[in-house]
């Protein structure tokens, strides 16, 4: 069964409420009507009702039973503005809050924060920054997590891997890399995988020396300490590894004999956002893997970012993944 089949089975009958702020985008509107027809996700669409209805008529889409909220005219506006001012404690005035909640991503994120919906999927028509910033400011990270990060599920036939952080943090210290390793492992578990996390570098077990190598090696120690302290025995983290030593048993036997991971890693933590973002795109474009994500981890409620080049299917699939995250 594919990842999505497994998730859809888990979500059967759950009707998880997911906000889709870009209701006036054809791909989002089409995906919303498809989701509405399932019992996995109940979409809440944001947008100007007249515009959404005109688009639906043009495309022959059935809007019956679909919840559409217009942030401009919604009776929820005053309540959300007040909750936003309270949440941002001195960082936004009433006037600034009113202005900011005209933005569909802020409005949608406040629906999640106030419990009127359980998750949000946006980014078909917004940059990553504009999509995730409201979540970082309002929903914030879970206790014990200092930074949210973005993973991709890399899927081809029966192969499934996780790559992170490929989406969020331009600069990462050893402590951050260790946290991403543990959070990525937990994400892997919640999607049915047994995590074997390789911390990637251009060095394998001290074969090269540099500050960057030392950072990854320190991150491995920190992650292993955390595994011991929190009794997370089901998680294996090791490194630092070059990619071949992490994925090819014969190379691991030569370069990393005695390592806990012997070419059988299934979660890969990249040393920087540059490496992660480039790495997943190479696997996707040259390796023929489907890249599903980025799936943000570590937030109090799930918010996920679409690529602006996304298809209707991408919107549908990421909504299913987001709904599945609420079950964790
Ligand atoms: C994520 C991102 C938008 C945050 O940028 P920003 O808004 O300028 O960040 P700021 O430092 O101003 O922080 C804004 C808020 O988010 C929080 N924040 C920033 N990064 C965070 C993170 N990784 N995890 C949790 N919170 C974070 C800050 O603490 C701050 O909260 P506060 O306002 O309550 O104090 C930025 O790091 C970014 O653009 N990253 C790269 C995204 C990208 O282009 N990826 C590649 C394509 S997928």
CATH of the domain at 266: 3.40.50.10750
Tokens describing residue 82: 């007040």
pLDDT at residue 206 in the model: 94
> How many whole angstroms separate alpha carbon 310 and alpha carbon 308?
5
The residue whose CA has the least distance to atom 10 of ligand 1 is: 133
How open is the CA angle 294-296-302, to the nearest 5 degrees? 125
Residues 174 and 79 grouped into a single domain: no
Q: Are 247 and 263 in contact (CB under 8 A)?
A: yes
User: What are 304's strand-pairing partners?
Assistant: 121
Total residue count of the chain as it appears in this document: 328
pLDDT, one tens digit per residue, over 70-112 is 999 999 999 999 999 999 998 999 999 999 999 999 999 999 9
Residue 306's contacts (CB-CB under 8 Å, 6 or more residues apart) are 121, 122, 123, 124, 131, 314, 315, 318
Token pair belonging to 74? 């919604």
pLDDT at residue number 1: 65
Question: Measured from the CB, is residue 167 less than 6 Å from ligand 1?
Answer: yes
pLDDT for position 48: 96
Q: Are residues 308 and 274 in the same domain?
A: no
Residues 272 and 315 both lie in one domain: no
Q: Does 282 lie in the same domain as 303?
A: no
What is the residue range of 179's domain? 149-290
Question: What's the count of helices (H) and strands (E) in the chain, helices before strands?
Answer: 13, 11
Do 286 and 227 fall within a single domain? yes
Is the same domain home to 171 and 206?
yes
Domain containing residue 320: CATH number: 3.40.50.10950
Same domain, yes or no: 155 and 284: yes
Are residues 271 and 194 part of one domain?
yes
Residue 158 shares a structural domain with residue 277: yes
Residue 43 structure tokens: 């979409």
Per-residue pLDDT of the chain (328 residues; tens, 9 = 90+): 678 888 999 999 999 999 999 999 999 999 999 999 999 999 999 999 999 999 999 999 999 999 999 999 999 999 999 999 999 998 999 999 999 999 999 999 999 999 999 999 999 999 999 999 999 999 999 999 999 999 999 999 989 999 999 999 999 999 999 999 999 999 999 888 999 999 999 999 999 999 999 999 999 999 999 999 999 999 999 999 999 999 999 999 999 999 999 999 999 999 999 999 999 999 999 999 999 889 999 999 999 999 898 999 999 999 999 999 999 7
153 & 136 share domain: no
Residues 130 and 186 in one domain: no
Same domain for 284 and 169, yes or no, is: yes
| Residue-wise pLDDT tens digits, 265-280 | 999 999 999 999 999 9
- Judged by DSSP in three states, 313 sits in helix
- The whole-number pLDDT of residue 91 equals 94
DSSP output for 297-312: ESBSS-EEE--TT--H
What is the number of domains present in the chain?
Answer: 2
Return the pLDDT at 4. Answer: 87
**Model pLDDT, residue 271:** 98
CA 97 to CA 81: how far, in whole Å?
6
Q: Count Cβ atoms below 10 Å from residue 220 Cβ, excluding itself.
A: 25
Q: Which of 133, 134, 147, 172 to mutate to test the pocket of ligand 1 (most atoms within 8 A of CB)?
A: 133
**Ligand 1 site, residue 134, Cβ cutoff 6 A:** no
Q: Is 300 in the pocket of ligand 1 (CB under 6 A)?
A: no
CA–CA separation, 313 vs 315, rounded Å?
5
């Amino acid at each position: 069964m594919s990842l999505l089949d497994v998730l859809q089975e888990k979500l059967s009958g759950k009707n998880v409420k997911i906000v889709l702020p870009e209701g006036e985008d054809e791909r989002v509107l089409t995906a919303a009507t498809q989701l509405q027809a399932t019992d996995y996700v109940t979409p809440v669409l944001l947008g100007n009702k007249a515009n959404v209805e005109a688009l639906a008529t043009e495309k022959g889409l059935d809007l019956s039973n679909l919840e559409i909220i217009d942030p401009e005219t919604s009776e929820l506006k005053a309540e959300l503005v007040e909750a936003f001012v309270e949440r941002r404690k001195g960082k936004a005035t009433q006037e600034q809050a009113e202005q900011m909640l005209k933005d569909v991503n802020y409005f949608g994120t406040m629906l999640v924060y106030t419990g009127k919906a359980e998750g949000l999927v946006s980014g078909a028509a917004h940059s990553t920054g504009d999509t995730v910033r409201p979540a970082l400011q309002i929903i914030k990270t879970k206790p014990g997590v200092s930074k949210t990060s973005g993973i991709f599920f890399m899927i081809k036939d029966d192969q499934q891997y996780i790559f992170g952080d490929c989406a969020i943090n331009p600069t990462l210290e050893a402590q951050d890399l260790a946290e991403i390793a543990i959070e990525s492992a937990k994400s892997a578990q919640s999607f049915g995988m047994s995590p074997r996390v390789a911390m990637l570098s251009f060095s394998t077990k001290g074969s090269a020396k540099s500050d960057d190598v030392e950072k990854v090696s320190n991150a491995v120690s920190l992650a292993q300490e955390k595994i011991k302290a929190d009794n997370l025995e089901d998680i294996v983290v090791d490194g630092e590894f070059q990619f071949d030593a992490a994925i090819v048993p014969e190379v691991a036997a030569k370069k990393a004999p005695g390592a806990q991971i012997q070419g059988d890693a299934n979660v890969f933590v990249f040393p920087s956002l540059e490496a992660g973002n480039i790495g997943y795109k190479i696997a996707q474009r040259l390796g023929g893997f489907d890249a599903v994500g980025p799936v943000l981890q570590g937030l109090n409620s799930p918010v996920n970012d679409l690529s602006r080049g996304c298809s209707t299917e991408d919107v549908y699939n990421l909504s299913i993944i987001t709904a599945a995250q609420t079950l964790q």
